[in-house]
Chain A
Amino acid sequence: MTEKQYDRVEETLFHDMLQNGLHIYVDRKPGFAKSYAFFATNYGGMDMRFQMDGQWHDTPAGVAHFLEHKMFDTKDGNALQILSANGASPNAFTSTAITGYYFDSTEKFEENLKTLLSFVSVPWFTPESVAKEQGIIGQEIRMGDDDPDTQVFYSMLKGLYEYSPVRIDIAGTVESIAQITDQTLYDCHKAFYNPGNMVLCVAGDVDPQRVCALAREILPEEGKGEIPRDYGKPESNRAFQSEVVREMEVSTPIFRLGWKAEPVDKGPERLRQQLMGELVCEALLGTSSPLYARLYEQGLVNDSFDYGYEAYPGVAILAAGGESRDPWAVRAEVMEETARICREGIEEHLWRRLKKAAYGNRVKTLNSFESVCVNLAQGHFNGTDYLTFPEVYDGIEKSDVEQCIRRWITSERTCLAVIRPKGSAK
């Protein structure tokens, strides 16, 4: 086991790798009453085609999310109830690239950790329980169909990407999940829930040695390691479509503007580009940028406006959106501001304070155990050391961010997705 100090953010991280390939990270948080554990697999909505035991498997959309729902079932009952009865607050989520299971508790941490490791590593599916879940998840998908925020997000992804599975809804469709059987779930569990494809992150006033000992005790001795996947044909830097417009029952148009950035391979550069991508957003259209003030005063955006940078295997996107009476005008304003920045550069004062604010806001996230563990897990799968972000910030110059704006914020790389009120004309 190794111990590493991160002086600038005052964190101490323990790391070990078990024989089965599982990586374990423990962030010691002395003085906290609560402990938190996050057990995650490098498997998300976009991992639909993969190789196991020399064979390629094609699976329907929505399996990772379906599996997450069914993992809580155990041969003797339900792990959620066991954890709750033990004073823990458990939950789980599935994202585009990972699935994670977690709990926090102030007492019986070791017992709860054992339960977590055990229910996630031991599958228990039956045709009946799969059929029942198809109904429940079907309802969840229909709810998403009615949710304009979900719809505008996927409209943007579908507009930007032609082949990448990132364009497909994590939950799948009613039709795709109808194809899922208990055998599909067992196969995917075997491939992706092997310790070599997983990570365990813990934060709290706990003994790292005990965490590793419990993981050794509960988890299988052998792992398969990483699973090769296929994400479809390579994508160009151009957006597949420049506009996607749909109508729904909304009172105001809802929009999302996306730009394709170059995807970065696994490794430290992933974190650097993440931080640069966020600074691009802040400098160009962040809440303290000149453009935002202009958009707000003209009533083109309101409090619902948000923005960010997201990256998945083969995918990197800058996106911004919210409610607007005229999303096309927002796009025009953004492009105009981009042209201005390309001409004049980012104002020196603005740059300095944006960087301070971005740094401070990221340090603040370390107050949250959940945020620490999720970032450590994602960093691990991406080949980055999350807690080195202060040093990475040091190495980012104004000219780097200007360069990104010049390269990424172009009309060829843009897609504007709009959900407009039914019957409204444009």
Chain B
Amino acid sequence: MLQVTQKDLRPGVHLTAVQTRKFKTSVLGVTLMVPLDKRNASANALLPYVLRRGTYNRPDMQTLSAALDEMYGGTVSPIVRKKGEALCIGLTGSFLDDALAPEDAGIRDAAARLLTELLLHPALENGGFRTDYVAGEKKNLMNRIRAQINDKRLYATARLTAEMCADEAYGTDRLGDEASAAAITPESLWNRYQDLLSTAAVELYYCGSASPEQVEQTFAELISGIPEGERRMVSVGQVLSHAPAGTPRMVTEPLDVAQCKLSMGFRTGGITAGDRAYPALQLFNAVYGGTTTSKLFMNVREKLSLCYYSSSMLEKFKGLMLVSSGVEYKNQERAKQEILSQLEACQRGEIDRAELESGRRAVVSSLRTLSDSQARLEDYWLGQTVAGLTEKPEKLAERVEQVTLKEVVTAAQKVELDTVYLLKGQEE
């Protein structure tokens, strides 16, 4: 039903083509992948938004919208993601699949041409980016950076990773920081753009009814338009096998909040998405805090009512497990102890059959439905490309089916607490 082809088109230019007739739409995307670095993070994050404003051929929103309407209602969105310590800067679009359009519509080719224009032929002013576009999108970026504090739950998790990985590239936020965003000029962004175009690894993505050969043909103009040059190979970067010396560290920050956010960061003993033990780690995470039948949900929330929410998630390419919870200040110490004691229970093997199996059902179902969603599929394959992996989600699901209790416990035993971050009210 679903054929995945991956191919190096040129050194540093890679294609993932997923052929399927499941969907009414096709997804086309182009992503530049570079190592995360603090200095350039904001400029990197700004770039796709400025590119999305206009091309030499379609210099404004109105002409771009008209072009997308012509493609039977297409969309193109800028997207900035972190995969491990790689930053992925992309333009991704969704279009009516040619299989469902009138024969001469040629939507796939038109979509690829538009992506080519957006990436390689931006609207210009004096040989550089249009200053009004840079100024407008810079303002939007700074608003987005500032707005991160609005969602306290996400904010606490972001602050936890920044503190925990302060000495690693991973500690840099995908959007960078306000000060470096403010310092961007049309010239500095133009230089960054030129540098990225000639040195970043490039991922082209397609999902739809066309064959890999047709897809290569479709992308031909884009591929040949990407400048020649020595491209840096991308990777997920550094993974620590143990929490560093001097941990666990405790960081507390006051903010005007009614409810405390307690976030706890763990190292997974070096287990990441590429490891043999990864399915066991995934299952452990589900049993521990990844689902509404998990130990954290059932005990910390339901039984002891210590938290409004309490759950765990994996950063699969960085070897981290992050627990986030919302608690009353007076309960935060007890909540922390309970979160740790549930981990210790897992490490002692105190996981019953029902817990293990409902965790397994949740992980398997999530992996199997991945192929029902074009957006999730695209994100999965981008991660695989960055990590140099080729395993399909269905294969991973099969491995999860085989994981034993003993393997789950072994994975749990590798988990070490690194940093505790507490966001608390001003008064407490």
Q: Do residues A363 and B96 form an inter-chain contact, with CB atoms below 8 A?
A: yes
Q: Do residues A31 and B365 form an inter-chain contact, with CB atoms below 8 A?
A: no
Q: Do residues B20 and A31 form an inter-chain contact, with CB atoms below 8 A?
A: yes
On chain B, the residues within 8 Å of A366 by CB distance are: 24
Q: Do residues B99 and A10 form an inter-chain contact, with CB atoms below 8 A?
A: yes
Q: Do residues A34 and B372 form an inter-chain contact, with CB atoms below 8 A?
A: yes
Does B249 touch A at the CB level, under 8 Å?
A: no
Q: Do residues A33 and B24 form an inter-chain contact, with CB atoms below 8 A?
A: no
Q: Do residues A87 and B365 form an inter-chain contact, with CB atoms below 8 A?
A: yes
Q: Do residues B292 and A84 form an inter-chain contact, with CB atoms below 8 A?
A: yes
Q: Do residues B65 and A287 form an inter-chain contact, with CB atoms below 8 A?
A: yes
Does A30 touch B at the CB level, under 8 Å?
A: yes
On chain B, the residues within 8 Å of A424 by CB distance are: none
Take A360-B101, A363-B24 as given contacts and tell me if A293 and B73 are in contact as well, using a CB distance cutoff of 8 Å. Answer: no
On chain B, the residues within 8 Å of A85 by CB distance are: 293, 358
- Over the window 361-391 of chain B, the binary record of Cβ atoms lying under 8 Å from chain A Cβ atoms (1 yes, 0 no) is 1101100110110100000000000000000
Interface residues of B in 50-77 (CB under 8 A from A): 62, 65-66, 68-74
CB distance from A23 to the nearest CB of B (A): 25
Segment of A146-154, A179-187, A212-220, A349-357 engaged in the interface with chain B = A349-357
On chain B, the residues within 8 Å of A353 by CB distance are: 66, 69-70
Q: Do residues B368 and A367 form an inter-chain contact, with CB atoms below 8 A?
A: no
Q: Do residues A356 and B369 form an inter-chain contact, with CB atoms below 8 A?
A: no
User: Which chain A residue has the least Cβ–Cβ distance from B293?
Assistant: A85
User: Which chain B residue has the least Cβ–Cβ distance from A31?
Assistant: B1
Size category, B interface: 35 or more
Size category, A interface: 20 to 34
- Over the window 25-44 of chain B, the binary record of Cβ atoms lying under 8 Å from chain A Cβ atoms (1 yes, 0 no) is 10000000000000000000
Q: How far is the CA of A344 from the CA of B144 in the complex (A)?
A: 43
On chain B, the residues within 8 Å of A32 by CB distance are: 22, 372
On chain A, the residues within 8 Å of B99 by CB distance are: 10
Interface residues of A in 7-32 (CB under 8 A from B): 8-10, 29-32
Does B100 touch A at the CB level, under 8 Å?
A: yes
Q: Do residues A107 and B365 form an inter-chain contact, with CB atoms below 8 A?
A: yes
Does A359 touch B at the CB level, under 8 Å?
A: yes
User: Which chain A residue has the least Cβ–Cβ distance from B361?
Assistant: A87
Does A298 touch B at the CB level, under 8 Å?
A: no
On chain A, the residues within 8 Å of B25 by CB distance are: 364, 367
Does B2 touch A at the CB level, under 8 Å?
A: yes
On chain A, the residues within 8 Å of B72 by CB distance are: 356-357, 359-361, 363
Q: Do residues A364 and B73 form an inter-chain contact, with CB atoms below 8 A?
A: yes
Does A288 touch B at the CB level, under 8 Å?
A: yes
Does A358 touch B at the CB level, under 8 Å?
A: yes
Q: Do residues A31 and B368 form an inter-chain contact, with CB atoms below 8 A?
A: no
Q: How far is the CA of A367 from the CA of B375 in the complex (A)?
A: 12
Does B94 touch A at the CB level, under 8 Å?
A: yes
CB distance from A14 to the nearest CB of B (A): 19
Contact of A367 among B24, B65, B74 (CB under 8 A): B24
Does A95 touch B at the CB level, under 8 Å?
A: no
- Over the window 338-371 of chain B, the binary record of Cβ atoms lying under 8 Å from chain A Cβ atoms (1 yes, 0 no) is 0000000000000000000010011011001101
CB distance from A292 to the nearest CB of B (A): 9
CB distance from B367 to the nearest CB of A (A): 9
User: Which chain B residue has the least Cβ–Cβ distance from A362?
Assistant: B73
CB distance from A109 to the nearest CB of B (A): 12
Q: How far is the CA of A32 from the CA of B71 in the complex (A)?
A: 26
Q: Do residues B66 and A106 form an inter-chain contact, with CB atoms below 8 A?
A: no
User: Which chain A residue has the least Cβ–Cβ distance from B362?
Assistant: A87
Q: How far is the CA of A283 from the CA of B95 in the complex (A)?
A: 21
CB distance from A268 to the nearest CB of B (A): 22
Does B23 touch A at the CB level, under 8 Å?
A: yes
Q: Do residues A361 and B73 form an inter-chain contact, with CB atoms below 8 A?
A: yes
CB distance from B119 to the nearest CB of A (A): 23
Q: Do residues B66 and A363 form an inter-chain contact, with CB atoms below 8 A?
A: no
User: Which chain A residue has the least Cβ–Cβ distance from B68?
Assistant: A357
Q: Do residues A367 and B371 form an inter-chain contact, with CB atoms below 8 A?
A: no
Q: Do residues A288 and B65 form an inter-chain contact, with CB atoms below 8 A?
A: yes
On chain A, the residues within 8 Å of B365 by CB distance are: 33, 87, 105-107
User: Which chain A residue has the least Cβ–Cβ distance from B64?
Assistant: A288
On chain A, the residues within 8 Å of B20 by CB distance are: 31
CB distance from B271 to the nearest CB of A (A): 26
- Over the window 319-353 of chain A, the binary record of Cβ atoms lying under 8 Å from chain B Cβ atoms (1 yes, 0 no) is 00000000000000000000000000000000001
User: Which chain A residue has the least Cβ–Cβ distance from B101?
Assistant: A360
6 cross-chain pairs, A with B, having the tightest CB-CB distances, nearest first: A360-B72, A360-B73, A31-B1, A357-B73, A357-B69, A33-B368
Interface set of A (CB-CB < 8 Å, partner B): 8-10, 29-34, 84-85, 87, 105-107, 287-288, 293, 353-354, 356-361, 363-364, 366-367
Interface set of B (CB-CB < 8 Å, partner A): 1-2, 20-25, 62, 65-66, 68-74, 94-96, 99-101, 292-293, 358, 361-362, 364-365, 368-369, 371-372, 374
A-B contact pairs, 8 of them (CB 8 A): A9-B24, A9-B100, A10-B100, A33-B365, A106-B364, A354-B69, A367-B24, A367-B25
Apart from A31-B20, A32-B372, A360-B72, 5 more pairs, CB < 8 Å = A106-B364, A106-B369, A288-B69, A356-B71, A357-B68
